[in-house]
Amino acid sequence: MQKIVVMGVSGSGKSTLGVALAHALGATFIDADDLHPAENVAHMAAGRALTDAMRWPWLDRCADAMAQAGDVVLACSALRRAYRDRLRAGVAGLRLVHIEATPDLTAARMADRAGHFMPTTLLDSQFATLEPPDGTEAPIISDPALPVAEQVADILTKLREV
């Protein structure tokens, strides 16, 4: 069973890559943004970063959704190790795909994105919070400068290697 989190800062391409990867795997796609309570969305829309106390119930909701699904790809920022550990606690066999995006690329993508609650003013806090996964988490690294189809092909190859 495939349980995959596509992680990275806002604007890195998590949803786009996640949808394409889920399609390639025949898996369910879940966008963690859709699981935020209204209070979290309003907080971020007002330009304020979430606190950990606000994140824990949301991460638990994400883990529950993944655990209840069969093969699943979740697009979720999962910026800190503690957040990823929280997801792992509820999802056996979880794999990480880390989109290693640059601040310039994500800022450009966010500026082009319409209708999303995350303002570009929070991008600096996203990069400040980011704890890239290390080798102990066995992440698959994805380059968002590549076309999505190439990223998916690379991820599928790496998933088969394990």
Q: What is the pTM of this model?
A: 0.88
> What distance in Å separates the CA atoms of residue 122 and residue 154, rounded to the nearest whole number?
30
> In terms of pLDDT, which residue wins out, 104 or 25?
25
Alpha-carbon span 33 to 105, nearest angstrom: 20
Give the C-alpha separation, 41 to 38, whole Å: 5
Q: Which residues contact 101 (CB under 8 A, 6 or more apart)?
A: 8, 9, 11, 12, 13, 144
Encode pLDDT of 76-133 as tens digits.
999 999 999 999 999 999 999 999 987 777 766 656 655 545 555 667 778 888 899 9
Hey, what domains does the chain have and what are their CATH numbers?
3-161 (3.40.50.300)
